[in-house]
Structure formats: structure tokens, C-alpha cells
Amino acid sequence: MELQNDLYLRALRREKTERTPVWLMRQAGRYLPEYRKVRAQAGDFMTLASTPEMACEVTIQPLERFPLDAAIIFSDILTIPDAMGLGLYFETGEGPKFKNPISNAKQIADLPVPEADDLQYVMDAIALTTKTLNGRVPLIGFSGSPWTLLTYMIENGGSKTYAKSKALLYKTPELAHQLLDKLTQSIIKYLIGQIQSGASAVQVFDSWGGVLSPTDFQQFSLQYMQQIVTGLKAAGFGDTPIILFSKGANQSLTALSQTGCHALGVDWTIDIGKAQELTGNRVALQGNLDPATLYAPDAFIDTAVKKVIDEFGDQPGHVFNLGHGMQPDMQPEKVAVLVDAVRKHSTRKHEA
């Protein structure tokens, strides 16, 4: 299917673009009243995420409001642990939980490696959304990283200290590697299924990479993301752009840029110009405005957007995004201000 707007894919391949493309993490979510309406109809999060028609509807909602350059499939990073039999559910006000969290070696040994069709509802949602978009913009597929999925499976949700996860790494590293290896195999199959179903690019969310020391990051996170990139290429899907986003792992940006991925997500705790230096223009960069900027007055948002665009400079390979996701209490009107500012300032830059 020919895309009417391929700016995003061209930027990921570091080709020249007329302006900087923009999309936002969690752009389909609770800050939109139309999302909350569908979420209420679904009754619970997993029903929404696992019903292709609903997932398609909320994926496309932000594009109806804002001239964004990509859609990202509405799903969750914990679909793979759920398919492994952990029993994902969402506790009101507490986030994700598992009925069967990992607590011993036998559980890890017994974990299956899901096939793509074990997550058929995600593939169906991608196929339906691709068909519904009809070439309007690219659709992004995604997965959590092996390390990030491990933390949720061990901690049974989010954590402030990651004590159980790090205890696994330090006390029984062989068990950690066994689990990470199974997750890596699953993620490769999952992302291949997403590409085959219609995803034009795929992103790996390493949300908790930054809680590891540089040495541990290399051993327990980076090497497995490297295996995912290598695995997708070996399977013949190397032309599909692969984005790695490791939040808080700025000390490892150089190593991340050497994995063979097409692009890196960059959080807001580093200047994007410095990120360019560290990555040596090997990859495109996606980011990196502090999401909290959207609480500011419109003029402040406009200036902050311009600063990121100016700092990146005139070379190709920038996708504008936040340094993390939208928050539920943000105002949709502020997203409009941000998107307009990206279009205004980056078009002028490329014309200059």
C-alpha cells in the first residue's frame, strides 16, 4: 500500500524531509475524551486492547484531532507475559498486575515461548488499522524490551527499587539470562507478526533500562535488544525501521547506536545535540521534549519545540516526539500547540 505521508519512515532512514515528522508516545490515551468514552464502553483495559475494532478506533482517534505523521497501535507492552500464562490484569489506580507472577526457577523453566498467533488479537488490530488508515500515515508496532518485561514479571507490576529483579540478576544470573532469552525469542516472533500484519516500523520500549548500571545494562538489556535487531534482520525484515527507546540509559547511547537499529528514542534528560554527538549520526533520533512542557503556556511550548528543532540542526534523521508519554491530565489543546509548532519551525528550517 502506497503511503500518502511517508515523512516518518523517510526520517527514520535519515532521508531528507520537507519538515520534521511528529508523533507522540501515548498519543492515544486517557487525555482524550473520545478515548475515555470508548474505554468506558469496553469496561476494562484488556477488553479494549484485545478487541480489534476498539483498538483500531482509539489508535486512529488522535489523527482525527491532530495532523500527526504516524499512528501507533493501541496495545500494551505486557501482552507477551500474558501470552506466557501470567494472567495480566489491571488494578484500578495501581496499574498492571499478574495472577501468576514469576517467583521461582521452575516457573521460568516452564514458560512457553509464544508464537505470533498466540497474540492474534494484536495482529488483527494491526491488520484492521492498516486497512482503515488506507495509506494515510505509517502504523507503528511495538514491544516491551526483554529487561523491562522481566521487571514487571518479577516485581508483579511497577517498582521504585527493582529489588526483586536486581536480586535475580545478582544472585542467579543464569536464571535471569534464561528468562531474558525466552523473552527475546518471543519478541522477535511478535514483531515479525506485527510487520507481516501491516506495521511499517517497530519500536522496542526499554522503559527501565536506566535503572541498571552501565555494565549491567550491557549484559542484561543491550545484548538482548541487539539480538532482537539481529533476529529481525536474519528473518528478512531488516528493511522495516527498528527503533530502540531505552529511557534513562543516555550513558549507553553510543552502544545502542551500534546495534544496527535505524533509530533511537531519546528522553528529555540529555540535549539532543549531545545525543547526536554520542551516536555519531549512525541512527535517526526520536524525541525529546520533556512531556511536562505540555502543562506550560502556549508560548512556552512553542519556544521549547523550536529549541529542540534548532538544536538538532538541518541534517536529516529527526522525528519529533516527547521524551516519554502523554499523561492523563494533559489537555488535548496543548498537543495541537505542540504539533503546530513542530510544523511551523521545522518547515522554515528545511526551507532556509
Under a CB-based contact definition with an 8 Å cutoff, are residues 221 and 206 in contact? yes
* Core vs surface per residue 130-145: b (16+ CB within 10 A) or e: beebeeebbbbbbbbb
- pTM here is 0.97
CA–CA separation, 221 vs 128, rounded Å?
32
pLDDT for 1 equals 73
pLDDT under 50: residue ranges of the chain: 352
pLDDT, position 91: 80
Say whether 30 is catalytic: yes
- Is 36 in the active site? no
Whether the Cβ atoms of residue 34 and residue 4 lie closer than 8 Å to each other:
no
Nearest to 83 by CA among 116, 51, 110: 116
Residues in binding site: 26-30, 76, 152, 207, 324
CATH 3.20.20.210 fits 7-287+316-326, yes or no: yes
Q: Is 76 among the catalytic positions? A: yes
- Please pick, among 14, 26, 69, 162, the residue that the annotation labels catalytic: 26
pLDDT at 285: 98
SS3 assignment, position 204 = strand
From 6, 69, 76, 82, the catalytic residue: 76
Summarize the annotated binding site for substrate as residue ranges.
26-30, 76, 152, 207, 324
C-alpha cell at 167: 536480586
Mark out the alpha helices in the chain (DSSP H runs): 7-12, 33-42, 45-50, 52-65, 79-81, 105-110, 120-133, 146-155, 163-171, 173-197, 214-217, 223-234, 253-257, 272-279, 298-312, 332-351
Q: Which of 8, 31, 152, 224 is catalytic?
A: 152
* Extents of the domains making up the chain: 7-287+316-326
Strand 139-144, strand 95-98: pairing: unpaired
Residue 218 confidence (pLDDT)? 98
Identify the CA nearest to 73 among candidates 162, 194, 188.
Answer: 194
Catalytic residue at 206? no
Active site residue 13: no
Please tell me which residue in 39, 118, 224, 302 is annotated as part of the active site. Answer: 39
The pLDDT of residue 211 is 97
DSSP secondary structure, 144-171, as one string: E-HHHHHHHHHHTS--SS-HHHHHHHHH
Q: Are strands 95-98 and 88-91 parallel, antiparallel or unpaired?
A: antiparallel
